[in-house]
């Protein structure tokens, strides 16, 4: 799975890393390369712990949305691919029936928000289930 990294530096040599799609996942390094390598390891460990606790992987947000976040202003951006499927299983294709008008609305919404149809549907399902868990 691909993850966006926001790298920050105060001195041009040491970098802190935020993984905006994984709240609470941070890392650092003494160079850009080391910071990215450490972030990859942090993502792997974060996802392993999340899966062990029965948590869901948050739906990834578009890079443009992260770049617009004022808390991440001035970041250097990188994308890493981390094989986390061993914790959550591979993505599976499903076949669902949706009224044509609803599908158009889904596609329009997803496009406006920089998401794929699948990404939007997964995010909507996760939010609905999270709301149910809070009500229980």
Q: Which residue has the tokens 């995010």?
A: 123
- Report the topology of domain 1-92: Double Stranded RNA Binding Domain (3.30.160)
Q: Measuring CA to CA, how many Å separate 135 from each of 15, 55, 58, 109, 132?
A: 40, 17, 20, 27, 5
Q: Which residue has the tokens 């669902």?
A: 96
Single out the residue of 57, 63, 33 nearest to residue 44, CA to CA. Answer: 57
Instruction: Write out the two tokens for 73.
Output: 């202003």
Single out the residue of 41, 40, 47 nearest to residue 84, CA to CA. Answer: 47
* Pair 26, 19: CB distance under 8 Å: yes
What pLDDT score does 67 carry?
94
What pLDDT score does 50 carry?
92
What pLDDT score does 134 carry?
55
Give CA–CA dist 123/44, Å, rounded.
Answer: 21
Single out the residue of 120, 131, 6, 121 nearest to residue 66, CA to CA. Answer: 6
What pLDDT score does 27 carry?
97
What pLDDT score does 114 carry?
74
Residues 6+ apart with CB under 8 A from 41: 27
Q: Which residues pair with 17 in a beta bridge?
A: 7, 27
pTM as predicted? 0.70
Domain ranges of the chain: 1-92, 93-136
Give CA–CA dist 6/61, Å, rounded.
Answer: 13
Parts of the chain with a pLDDT under 70: 131-136
């Amino acid at each position: 799975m691909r993850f966006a990294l926001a790298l920050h530096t105060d001195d041009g040599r040491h970098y802190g890393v935020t993984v905006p799609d994984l709240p609470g996942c941070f890392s650092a390094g003494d160079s850009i390369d080391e910071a990215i390598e450490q972030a990859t390891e942090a993502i792997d460990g974060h996802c392993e712990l999340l899966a062990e606790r029965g948590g869901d992987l948050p739906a990834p947000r578009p890079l443009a949305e992260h770049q617009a976040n004022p808390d991440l202003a001035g970041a250097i951006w990188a994308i890493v691919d981390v094989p986390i499927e061993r914790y959550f299983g591979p993505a599976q294709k499903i076949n669902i029936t949706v009224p044509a008008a609803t599908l158009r609305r889904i596609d329009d919404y997803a496009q406006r928000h920089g998401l794929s149809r699948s990404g939007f549907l997964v995010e909507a399902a996760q939010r609905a289930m999270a709301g149910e868990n809070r009500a229980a």
